[in-house]
Amino acid sequence: MGLLHHKRFFRPDEAASILALSRRTVYRMIRDGRITGVKWGKGPWRIPRDSLAILLPGEKF
């Protein structure tokens, strides 16, 4: 099983790669509420795997 199946949270650049979008679009989607983004303190954004799985319904994620 690949790293994708073990991670619970993804960086915006990883999410962009998975979704075949730009990183800027991923940040816009977080801001718009289309993707759930989590931010711990002043750290970077993280996207839960469940948020990506909803956008990729036919994929095993």
Which of 25, 58, 20, 27 minimizes the C-alpha distance to 45? Answer: 27
Per the structure block, which two tokens stand in for 14? Answer: 């990883």
In a domain, 1, yes or no: no
Report the pLDDT value the prediction gives residue 32, as an integer from 0 to 100: 96
Which residues make Cβ contacts (< 8 Å) with residue 50, sequence separation at least 6? Answer: 36
> DSSP 3-state assignment of 47?
strand
Domain span at residue 46?
A: 8-55
Tally of domains within the chain: 1
In a domain, 60, yes or no: no
**pLDDT below 70 — which residues of the chain?**
1-5, 59-61
Report the pLDDT value the prediction gives residue 6, as an integer from 0 to 100: 79
Report the pLDDT value the prediction gives residue 34, as an integer from 0 to 100: 94
Beta bridge partners of 42: none
Report the pLDDT value the prediction gives residue 1, as an integer from 0 to 100: 43
In a domain, 3, yes or no: no
In a domain, 19, yes or no: yes
